[in-house]
A and B are shown apart, each in its own frame.
Chain A
Amino acid sequence: MFLLFFVLAQGVIDDVDVVNSTDLIEKSEAVHTIVQAPPTQIYTRDRANDAGGGIVVFWKKSEDDGAGRESVIEYHIYRGTEADGDFELVGTAKAGDTSYTDITTRDGTPYYYQVKAFDGEQHSSAAVSEAAYSSAQWFHTGRISMLIATILISTFVVWFINKAKRGHELYIRPIAGLEAVDDAVGRATEMGKPIMYVPGILDMDNIQTIASMIILGRVARKAAEYETAILVPCTRSIVMSAAQEMVKEAYLEAGRPDAYDADKIQYLTDDQFGYAAGVDGMLLREKPGAIFYLGGFYAESLILAETGHSTGAIQIAGTAQPSQLPFFVTACDYTLIGEEMFAASAYLSKEPLLLGGLKGQDWGKAIIIFLILVGVLLVTLGFTDVIGWLSTGQ
């Protein structure tokens, strides 16, 4: 998600002064005669950007909190529905804190708050706040920068798709890994060996798995045309169902529905290393001529790719897990790096609509590069406020 970039840009550090609250057990035997000063200027605010049910209570610290007699250890927050009615304790805040969020309110009901300083034995006096109401918001104001970015990038993508629709030629650079897909299938056919397609260990809700299914469709069609068997071991049952659909459809389109064998697309286990062991076993028994590792991978990546390498198969890998890329690069013949995998369907089909999407994505990247340069320049010159503008909002 491109939120990542904005998340990267911010470095919010919540620096709450933590004051020990358990040491208060050491109570003094002496009778208290002087009560600590109460917190002042109590006011409330509806909690911003929420679905309702939250009121934030603010106060100014007691004069004996961190100063004066330094006797305050906690603040106790009381709530009532009438200014002169009963108040009940709803929460506590540490000494040094100046706000408390009450998340148990009912929207539309008036609430009155009291905040009392507590020294372990007795409470200070307290004033009553004005009536406060909680409500839900229709727009999250902290996410304006995200909204602008979403609209901008989406506009680019849609605009270039439309441009492509009108018949504009769009250039796409050669991607070696994708060029090699057909060759790999061809080579397996020549050797009379099956193809193995490993769709990663993530579920269907992950975009890498979806991208992998898209490429599987293409590989399966080639395999069907060449009458080469395709094996798809899956670690998630939904992925297995999706893969069966993809391969079946590919065989239908290639005009060989009779050659489709659902049993070749099988579920192994949800367990990560159980799956790795299972696929390794299949690699050694079936000795495929071409192996594809496309999808989300973790530590099993090298275990699979090295075993695959030992069988002498041609290997094509692709993932958006940066930490696994080095392993695939080392052990496979071709590796699709992150976005190249997402570009695969456009690249392989050369469909103008899909190519338009890629072009829009490139413009999104250009904007981000521009923003990084401007941001670095501004922060270097001392304008640190820009970090806040790019925040994703709480």
Chain B
Amino acid sequence: MKVLERLEKIDRRYVFILILLAVVIPLLFPINFKIEVSEPVAMLYRTVEELSPGSCVLFSFDYGPSTMPEVYPMNLALVRHCFSKDIKVIGIALWPEGVQFGNEAFRVAADEYGKEYGIDYINLGYKAGGVVVVSAAAEDIATTFPQDYTGRSIEEFPIMTEVKNFDNIDLIVSFSAGDPGTREYIRIAQGRYGKKVGTGVTAVSAPAFYPYLNAGQLQGLLGGMKGAAEYETLIQQSGLGTSGMDAQSIAHGLIIFFIVLANVFYIAGRRKK
């Protein structure tokens, strides 16, 4: 029993080392687990599939460097999907740091699909104010974002001639790591203007969005790196999400092993008493 007791009070740094190995080894030596697609992810995919070429979607980059590993892969996958279907993308950001990540996703996908800035896509940059920005842009994008992220007037860009407000937007997707983010779009864009809203959020906040999904207020929900991996599977273009799945699988398995182990000790200890 002494061994059990000692294991129960194990220094947590041993746990940390095992977790580190569980993450690093599969990253270095991929196993390539097959990825099953869940319904919330498939819903967003179908929504984008149903859009016809030339439609216009609004992407909101509402995340920062810390959550980038989780949210950026979804962002990139969605941009790729839209570009592959010749859908125009307008990017805005409710978080100042989001602008750079939006740009990066645009740059990567535009190279792959030969898309041109100002014609096929545009990044209007960051605007402070959260929910106020969303309600203002819903009425008039040009007043809210008179310039793109580089400071050039949006009137110079052909993509903006057809788009005045949310009436001209067919789908809104917020890549969100907190507030302001998806909730603002649900409240304003969906609630007030009846627009279709989808979202990609961090895994930890995904459970909180199921009520909106179920109520039809969200057209789809991507949660964490798994959500990104599933979307990459659907568009048949593997990326950062897919490559992280092996590590995440093993890490989840290991954590469950810890939980079971801890419970074995606990039950054994209780019996002894």
Contact between A14 and B192, CB atoms less than 8 A apart: no
Interchain nearest-CB distance for B16 vs A (Å): 11
Question: Contacts A299-B66, A299-B204, A394-B193; is A18 near B165 (CB within 8 Å)?
Answer: no
* Interchain CA distance A202-B180 in the complex, whole Å: 11
B67 at the interface (CB under 8 A from A): yes
Interchain nearest-CB distance for A112 vs B (Å): 21
B196 at the interface (CB under 8 A from A): yes
Contact between B52 and A20, CB atoms less than 8 A apart: yes
Interchain nearest-CB distance for A283 vs B (Å): 15
Q: CB < 8 Å: which of B54, B67, B191 contacts A20? A: B54
Question: Contacts A20-B53, A23-B53, A322-B208; is A10 near B191 (CB within 8 Å)?
Answer: yes
Q: Which residues of B contact A299 (CB under 8 A)?
A: 66-67, 177-178, 202, 204
Complex interface residues of chain A between 275 and 313 (CB less than 8 A to chain B): 298-299, 310
* Interchain CA distance A104-B28 in the complex, whole Å: 58
Question: Interface residue count for A (Cβ, 8 Å)?
Answer: 32
* Interchain CA distance A91-B177 in the complex, whole Å: 36
A9 at the interface (CB under 8 A from B): yes
Contact between A23 and B54, CB atoms less than 8 A apart: yes
Q: Which residues of A contact B54 (CB under 8 A)?
A: 20-23
Contact between A12 and B162, CB atoms less than 8 A apart: no
Q: Is the contact region of chain B dominated by helix, strand, or loop, or is it mixed?
A: loop
Contact between A8 and B215, CB atoms less than 8 A apart: yes
Interchain nearest-CB distance for A71 vs B (Å): 17
B64 at the interface (CB under 8 A from A): yes
* Interchain CA distance A392-B177 in the complex, whole Å: 26
User: Nearest A residue to B171 by beta-carbon distance?
Assistant: A18
Contact between B162 and A7, CB atoms less than 8 A apart: no
B170 at the interface (CB under 8 A from A): yes
A361 at the interface (CB under 8 A from B): no
* Interchain CA distance A272-B55 in the complex, whole Å: 36
* Interchain CA distance A12-B55 in the complex, whole Å: 21
* Interchain CA distance A91-B51 in the complex, whole Å: 22
Contact between B215 and A10, CB atoms less than 8 A apart: yes
Contact between A16 and B207, CB atoms less than 8 A apart: no
Interchain nearest-CB distance for A137 vs B (Å): 15
A348 at the interface (CB under 8 A from B): no
Contact between B215 and A13, CB atoms less than 8 A apart: no
A273 at the interface (CB under 8 A from B): yes
Contact between A92 and B162, CB atoms less than 8 A apart: yes
Seen from chain A, the residues whose Cβ lies within 8 Å of a Cβ on chain B are 3, 7-14, 16, 18-23, 91-92, 101, 103, 202, 272-273, 298-299, 310, 322-324, 392-394
What would be 11 A-B contacts, judged by CB atoms less than 8 Å apart?
A8-B215, A13-B194, A13-B196, A14-B193, A14-B195, A14-B196, A18-B51, A272-B64, A272-B66, A298-B177, A394-B193
Seen from chain B, the residues whose Cβ lies within 8 Å of a Cβ on chain A are 12, 51-55, 64, 66-67, 86, 139-140, 162, 164-165, 167, 170, 177-179, 186-187, 190-196, 202, 204-205, 207-208, 211-212, 215-217
